[in-house]
Amino acid sequence: MKSSKEPIHPNGPNTRFIHRTAVAVGTALLLGGLSATTANAEDKTEAADTHAFRTVEVSQPAGRVVYWVLPGQRDLAAATFGTPESPKARLEPKMNAVLEGKAPPAMPETLKNAPFMVGIPEAARSVTADGDYVFEKPNAFSDKARIISGEFASSMSDVVREDPAGPPAKTPDSAEFEATFTGPGGHQYRVVLDHVVKPPFPGYETQGGVFTDGYLHGDTGTGTPLMPKQYTHAAWWGLGELYIDGEKIDDHRVMHLMTTEVVRDRDYSLVHTEDLPLEPEERHIPDQAHHTHLMLPPLRGVPGKGPVFDPLPTAYELPNGQSQPFLHIMFEQDELAVTNTSGKTEDS
């Protein structure tokens, strides 16, 4: 499926390369405006940094390529989802794991309304006239997108390699994040991370909520299988604040950031696991080897209940008259710096 937006010219003004020092500059400028709640966590972050085995800084300053992903259909690749006769990545086993094990009270109802977090029910799959096996419900992992403007900065501290026991917010991992962008409807958005969590979805393994140097999505069991299995430089899951036009909309929104290998091709189609890794000439921007995904799904963290299904009030009206219920923002020209315990910094 082709995207309906105007194409980007890789050598045009939107693809100017800015020196990697923009990572530090962007982080300082954006994170300097964090909310008081997040700023109060800085001491904890600094303490965690002394024990981190890996720290990461990633940012993208204004003036580079950013996309707002629209709802659309998603093809179901056989490697992850099987075939209509022999389906894989089904919801039912995940739901059974929730019902049989320990899970937040809201989880069964949440997965009924947002099954894509762990699998796709067989009843929600269909075969098109062309023979394609698809998830028929419009979702956040489509080929449709609009070019917007924005910037972000995030720093993260990976302290543990496995999810520790305890409630979702109990983890020594930490991160800071702020993004600002203008949506296709003209509204101004600001997203701020408050704290990292270990999302309690069945099968997820998140290294304590900050995940570095591994694979997510696809058939890994961590993250929606609607995304391809992709090498991930760094990622976090957390709860935070959403502002629209300067007004705080909510302060317990579920959010997820990840910087990965490029998974969108020259036409901005979201590829499948078997297509990866993309060669430079196959990428949307040939000289960009990674990009950053920001996702706010239709979920809200409720103390004592867990993640509750709650469509995100984005204020962006779709052609059907309904508000888009999620945010999926793609920063296509990010800058990344990874520091390991050896003190070696790896810029990419």
Query: Is the model more confident about 16 or about 224?
Result: 224
pLDDT in tens, 228-244: 999 999 999 999 999 99
Beta strand 327-331 pairing with 66-69: antiparallel
Q: What tens digit of pLDDT does each residue of 49-66 get?
A: 458 999 999 999 999 999
C-alpha to C-alpha distances, 65 to 61, 284, 291, nearest whole angstrom: 10, 11, 10
Report the share of the chain in percent with pLDDT over 90.
81
Q: What is the pLDDT of residue 30?
A: 54
pLDDT at 49: 44
Q: Is 210 exposed, middle or buried (0-12, 13-18, 19+ CB in 10 A)?
A: buried
| The residue type at 177 | F
Q: Is the model's pLDDT at 90 over the cut of 80?
A: yes
pLDDT value, residue 244: 98
Mean pLDDT, residues 13-30 taken together: 42
Out of 15-24, 105-114, 299-308, least confident range: 15-24
According to the model, what pLDDT value does residue 40 have? Answer: 41
Kindly report the pTM of this predicted structure: 0.87
Asked whether the predicted pLDDT for residue 295 surpasses 90, the reply is: yes
Q: Which two tokens stand for residue 263?
A: 């998974």
- The angle subtended at Cα 254 by Cα 46 and Cα 320, nearest 5°, is 145
DSSP letters for 72-92: EEEE--HHHHB-SSSB-S-HH
Phi-psi region of 273 (alpha: psi -120 to 50; beta: other; left: phi over 0): alpha
Domains of the chain: which residue ranges? 13-75+140-347
Tell me the mean pLDDT in the region 83-97.
95
Averaged pLDDT score across all residues of the chain: 88
Task: State what percent of residues in the chain have pLDDT above 70.
Answer: 84
SS3 (DSSP) at 94: helix
Residue 136 is predicted with a pLDDT of 86
